Chain A
Amino acid sequence: MIRLEQLRKSYGGRLALEPLNLDVARGEVVALVGPNGAGKSTTLRALAGIVRPSGGRAFIAGHDVVTDAVAARSHLGYLSQRLGVPASTVLRDLVELVARVRGVAPATAVQTLTVAGLSDRLGSTIGELSGGQRQRLMIALATLGPVTALLLDEPGISLDAEGSEEVRRAICEARDRGTAVLFASHQLHDVAALADRIVVMVQGRVVAQGSLAELAQAAGVPCDAAPPEPPIERIYRILVSRGRESAGHLTLLREDAA
């Protein structure tokens, strides 16, 4: 459903994303983790058509995101780290736009606002919402309609415990509908709980990928390690540290990693 073939991106002379191969199948949830500047957002933005890849190709539901961009985006739900619409936008207008574009009945679209706890804010502007409310709105819109590929960039940011639970539920529901989900997050507990596969990126490179158990094995951490430090955080630290030390060398856990 989501496929990257040697996808790379550079800004000026700086390589932000080294050639990357990745597949996300229907109903699979894949998480991108890594420190700031690892290339997680760049990967998602290239897939969403927000930035143009410098090389390689990317596909959503078989459609090339550059040469067949509109068809690719018709299958796509995308949550950006940025707001992505003017703050003066009225919620009702935005919901109606997304509903029309995705072929969803307006009543169904308004229902998504009810789920997001914003049904009484239809006449408000986005600028009048709190950070958490905005995030819930944009997640609700990203998952609205017949979306078969979902890209979420830091979906848990700005959210309280209840909002984080909603995000986890939204991702699980999308997966259960057969949607391919690719998300970037610093919230490692969510990653451990949701992801079928975890891709660890450092400085634009994939340094490891696999299930949590595979990553734990690669990091030499027993998966049932007891608190105070949950395994995912320890695994993450070890793999990122190794990735930084082994600049230019990739730790491959799966054949499709690059």
Chain B
Amino acid sequence: MSHTLSLCRFELAAALRGRTAPVFAGGFALASVAVALVGLSAGGVLAVQGFARTSVSLLELVVWVVPILALITGAVAGADCHELEFTASLPIRRAGIVFSRWLAGTLTLGAALLVGLGSAGLVIGLLAGTADGWRYLRLIGVAVRVLAATLALGLWIGVAVRTRLKAVGVAVAVWFVLVIGVDLVAIGALAVLPPGKAGPWLSALLMASPIDSARALGLSLFHADVVAGPTGAALSAVLGKAGAWALTAALIGWTLVPLTLAGRRFSRSDL
């Protein structure tokens, strides 16, 4: 275990030296300030929106952009595991190699999210007041949770597919399925299932995608479950106040299961 921690330090140092984190942080800072400004510009006013409105607008950005970046980053990191012949000859469990890459990625990109969204939060707080600032902070928490889950999923894809290019292709395809495919299935289920029977199925579907789980969790911050569409409304009806916990548990599951599968797969692979 101590050797795995040593490897985590090594991976973290390498990740911090990379360019991904600063680009991620800068991109999210710019996007957040832009969202805060653009929201009111349609009404002919160039002013900064408050935290509540900005958070709702940013949620869509978070649930679309964070997963695709994390899936691709994870897929590349997973495929690159097969190049680590020297590291694999050290007395460290193979699963520890995968875990350390995930931890380093989550900490680095999570910090980048915190810096990016946090610096934008400072601007919003200074120009539009601090009301509902806690909702914004919790939105960052949701972003980090979906980042951790999709990074783990990307790592599993990379470890399984082995080559960078194929892994990125599969990661993008999985992102499409998670973003659109699950919603299409939800719409189909609503059409097929009798009224009143669809709730549990739709709730399960909501947890069948880390992206939908994060979206519903983010919307629950604003008591806007109904805006989450049929699945969000069903989740609210079926799970009630336990909904947020169920969604958090789903995201933890979406982190642990792919991470475990990636570790097991890599442990049995020839490099």
Contact = CB atoms under 8 A, between A and B. Distances in A.
A93 B14 contact: yes
Interface in A77-113: 78, 80, 82-86, 88-90, 93-94, 96-98, 100-101
Contact of A78 (B6, B80, B89): B89
Contacts of A94: 10
Interface string B1-31: 0010011011001100110000000000000
Among A48, A78, A101, which residue has the most Cβ atoms of chain B within 10 A? A101
B83 A50 contact: no
Contacts of A71: 91
A101 B86 contact: no
A82 B82 CA distance: 11
A76 interface: yes
Nearest to B269: A52
B77 to A, nearest CB: 10
Contacts of A98: 90
What is the size category of the interface that chain B forms with chain A? 20 to 34
Given A86-B83, A98-B90, A50 B6 contact: no
A138 interface: yes
Contacts of A138: 86
Interface residues of A, number: 32
Contacts of A70: 3, 91-93
Contacts, number: 80
Contact of A85 (B3, B86, B93, B268): B86
B10 A93 contact: yes
Given A90-B13, A101-B3, A85 B87 contact: yes
A51 B89 contact: no
A73 interface: yes
A80 B90 contact: no
Given A73-B91, A101-B92, A51 B270 contact: yes
Interface in B252-271: 268, 270-271
B45 interface: no
A97 B10 contact: yes
Contacts of B84: 84-86
Contacts of B10: 93-94, 96-97
A71 B90 CA distance: 10
B224 interface: no
A35 interface: no
Contacts of A76: 89, 91
A49 interface: yes
B91 A80 contact: no
Interface in B43-86: 80, 83-86
A211 interface: no
A251 interface: no
B13 A84 contact: no
Interface in A168-207: none
A49 B88 contact: yes
A45 B83 CA distance: 13
A82 B83 contact: yes
22 contacts: A45-B271, A48-B88, A48-B89, A49-B88, A50-B85, A51-B270, A70-B91, A73-B90, A76-B91, A78-B89, A80-B85, A82-B83, A83-B85, A83-B86, A86-B83, A86-B84, A93-B10, A93-B13, A97-B9, A98-B90, A101-B6, A101-B90
Given A50-B89, A84-B85, A98-B90, 11 more contacts: A45-B271, A50-B271, A73-B92, A74-B91, A78-B89, A83-B86, A84-B83, A88-B18, A93-B14, A100-B6, A101-B91
